[in-house]
């Protein structure tokens, strides 16, 4: 055979298209990660200002006018209120002004990420110096000593997400990307649910009791892990049902390329560029990272919204998987009913999933 014929047989048009798609995913991966993380810049970090009289309003305005708008300040009535709002994750820090001297205090919470805490310390050190004052830093929700830079929650979520789409991909590789009928789609979703429960527990145990990287409720992390894994797996099953093997690449596009750099792991949301800051909370990695940090360091506060996001992905993915399988079944039945149409015969060797 001529070389051209050998090449034609070795690399089919379908394979060539998949390789081109792989190259596109690779370039999108580089663009997304480098674009999101190469130059973190604080933007509208929510901080409170506690000061007597009208001083809080005046100082808030001064902080709002800092070059680049790194802060979104708001006056609050007392330090107790500021602490409560920080634990509820409504604000990221609070400046408590000393009315009788020049030594102020900045309340921070490194549990939400040490990178943001360091930036806040730099900003307020400069502000205090310009006003001939000093500022001390008090961490009211410190990251665990075993949780370097507060990243363990993010890495745990990344592991859960990887497990979710890999398990769904294996189900497709073993028995076809598209389930033959709704019963088989249901079996795949059931298998995905069992895997999610087991992997959610094991991930929580490794990050918690075994490595002591994350404090907080083991049961809470287990539930979060199961929901996260199932949400990602159901999404991947749905995309595979709609697009075939290409659906695996689309799942990677959403979860890995779009979701991971925007999740607020390496750099919290206020330090990400606008696009990634906007999409992060709506994608599974970002929603799950927020919940994991809340469970670990903020008494499980302010997690309803992110849990609804994860639930929406899980429900939508499941319904789409079943709907696509039902449509495929209807199409095959219609073809079988036509004169001369082929009839599908189920044999003991037919895979269940």
The structure tokens listed for 92 are 């990221």
Distance CA 240, CA 100 (A): 65
pLDDT of residue 341: 39
Q: Domains plus CATH for the chain?
A: 45-139 (3.40.1710.10), 148-337 (no CATH)
What is the pLDDT at residue 330? 64
| pLDDT value, residue 13 | 80
Q: Strand 93-96 and strand 103-108: pairing?
A: antiparallel
Alpha carbons 91 and 101: distance in angstroms, whole number: 26
Strand-pair partners of 159: none
Which stretches of the chain score pLDDT less than 70?
A: 1, 6-8, 175-177, 180, 328-353
Tokens standing for 30? 């580089």
- 147 φ/ψ angles, rounded to the nearest 5 degrees: -115, 80
pLDDT of residue 97: 95
- pLDDT at position 353, please? 36
Other beta carbons less than 10 A from residue 232's beta carbon: 34
- Could you tell me if 251 and 168 are in contact, meaning their C-beta atoms sit under 8 angstroms apart? yes
Query: Which sign, positive or negative, has the C-alpha torsion 210, 214, 220, 224?
Result: negative
Say what the pLDDT of residue 340 is. 41
Q: Can you give the pLDDT at residue 333? A: 58
Give phi and psi for 47, each to the nearest 5: -130, 150
Q: What is the pLDDT of residues 34-86, one digit of tens each?
A: 999 999 999 999 999 999 988 999 999 999 999 999 999 999 999 999 999 99
Beta strands in the chain (DSSP E): 45-50, 71-75, 93-96, 103-108, 134-139
Residue 129 burial (10 A CB sphere; 0-12, 13-18, 19+): exposed
Res 327: pLDDT: 81
> CA nearest 352: which of 166, 172, 187?
187
DSSP string, 252-308: HIIIIIIITTTSSSSS-GGGS-HHHHHHGGGSHHHHHHHHHHHHHHSTT-S-HHHHH
pLDDT at 171: 87
Q: Report the C-alpha gap between 350 and 304 in whole angstroms.
A: 43
């Amino acid at each position: 055979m001529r070389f051209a014929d050998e090449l034609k047989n070795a690399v089919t048009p379908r394979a060539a298209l998949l390789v081109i798609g792989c190259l596109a995913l690779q370039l999108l991966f580089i663009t997304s990660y480098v674009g999101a993380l190469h130059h973190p810049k604080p933007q509208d970090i929510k901080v409170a200002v506690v000061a007597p009289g009208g001083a809080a309003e005046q100082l808030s305005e001064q902080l709002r006018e800092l070059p680049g708008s790194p802060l979104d300040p708001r006056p609050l009535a007392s330090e107790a209120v500021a602490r409560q709002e920080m634990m509820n994750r409504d604000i990221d820090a609070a400046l408590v002004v000393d009315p009788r001297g020049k030594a102020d205090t900045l309340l921070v919470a490194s549990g939400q990420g040490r990178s943001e805490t360091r930036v806040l310390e730099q900003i307020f050190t400069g502000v205090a110096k310009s006003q001939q004052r000093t500022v001390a830093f008090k961490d009211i929700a410190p990251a665990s000593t075993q949780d370097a830079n507060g990243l363990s929650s993010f890495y745990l979520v990344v592991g859960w997400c990887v497990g979710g789409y890999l398990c769904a991909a294996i189900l497709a590789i073993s028995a076809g990307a598209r389930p033959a009928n709704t019963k088989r789609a249901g079996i795949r979703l059931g298998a995905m649910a069992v895997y999610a429960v087991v992997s959610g527990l094991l991930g929580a145990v490794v990050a918690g009791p075994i490595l002591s990287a994350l404090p907080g409720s083991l049961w809470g992390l287990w539930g979060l892990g199961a929901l996260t894994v199932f949400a990602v797996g159901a999404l991947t099953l749905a995309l595979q049902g709609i697009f075939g093997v290409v659906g695996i690449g689309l799942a990677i596009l959403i979860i890995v390329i779009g979701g991971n750099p925007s999740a607020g792991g390496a750099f919290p949301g206020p330090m990400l560029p606008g696009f990634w800051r906007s999409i992060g909370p709506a994608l599974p990695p970002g929603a799950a990272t927020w919940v994991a940090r809340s469970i670990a360091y903020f008494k499980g506060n302010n997690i309803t919204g992110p849990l609804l996001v994860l639930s929406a992905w899980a429900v939508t993915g499941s319904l789409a998987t079943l709907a696509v399988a039902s449509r495929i079944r209807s199409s095959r039945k219609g073809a079988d009913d036509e004169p001369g149409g082929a009839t599908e015969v189920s044999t003991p060797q037919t895979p269940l999933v």
